[in-house]
Chains A and B, each alone.
Chain A
């Protein structure tokens, strides 16, 4: 318990950095201009099949939006009160859950975000102290280069310069390839709906809050200061400082700093992340890097194949002609 009450700075740190938005409009505008420009280039070029799903651009690397927002969840602070779940539910107008948010029996099962919940908290046994379970909040990690966006054939996903990965229901035809691609098993689908099924996932409160530089509903609701909202770059620094200050309490790993190319939602923990159900085998490369090689071969096949197979066709025709000529000349000689 001592850990939790001891860190009053965490929220202030986050809030302080969060509101310190020196000229975000300008930066966002620049980002948009660059996007629009590159999008046009890609459309005209036609060969620019490669690029982040959010940025139709050439196959260069994308370092992520500078100054984007993020969140830091510190599992050593989380008390499992599910206030974040309740706040998220309210903020997004989601249906009332079957069990109320103060019902701790939900912890008997490991849950995942689904069509009715953008975020859930799960309970794990603490190997250091059996009486002090660890709680883990799960929601979209808002990757810097999201696999879901790389997977979507219709561009229904968009990484906003502010950091949120947004999904647009109006563009989705329901192939669910984003769910296959997401390394964190985040997007959920409402299979129950016949006419308007859609992907459901955390929006980082983009429309209502983050767009205006305001803290997300879950972070605001957290009574334990376990969720810090701020600029991602600053959150990384805060996380590093916490590990440095208390190396016995934390393992030396900020989950999301590098995983899947880096995520805007990052995590600190006192036990290895695998023990909290985090996938341990997520490469540091952004997933899109894995398909870049294949997609860059597409224009090559389009240019080389017609010539190559055209030549095969010509060679066979040529052989036929030579053969026919020989037969003809033989016949001529016989005729003489």
Chain B
């Protein structure tokens, strides 16, 4: 590839295959990697796990790949919808809404004396919080001629700030013993025993989004043009934008409900995929999902041997520590230029 030219289709297909292979390899390694305790400390070993352990590790693989792919697909849809390279599920305030939902539910359960939240009990409020945020942002971003990308972003930022303030208030009202659970959840988690119904529904939803995005790739390409141009070329932007917003919002809400607010995957994975397979959505949607799944699987793999303080390094901390510099690097290399 000479400077300034795009990659050939064959190279792009090879890059897509490479991304899928890396994600698959990370999944296999995640199943094989384990630790055993010896007097000298923890020892890392790679071996097929015995007995029930394999199911726990497969559970973690399922969570990481589903959440990673969902966040990345959601991020890509939002970047296309908003024509904004900085868009991600976090921009719309979904993670803030989910966290606030969980915090309010914790406060209510404590006040009513019904114990702690677990399983679907914690997922439900988080999901409700994310969807409520999505609803508010959508209403705020609505204009007579359809959704306005800039207003959506601004509404997301404002709602995030509001949710952050309310979260602090709820945290302040919680009894000291309950605050730890909330803080732990906000750091992100890859549960080895996930809530299977929600996980299966999210995986299915993500699969449908990838399929529709790939089949309708040329329509998503045209949506990147100016409004007038896209309409003139024959794309009805109104229905497309609502579909994308709803799809991106639901995927992000489910991902946050399952694993907590995990930063940067939804932002970085689409850019990484774009770097490898170009901007055409027919390949980009699948590549982005593979990159997201791969990123979270690798992150989960990397943190296995790292014990800090209360236990393994929280996944959200790791993705933020790695994702932040990677994103800065992309900015420095001008990979985000040229967006309208």
A and B associate:
no
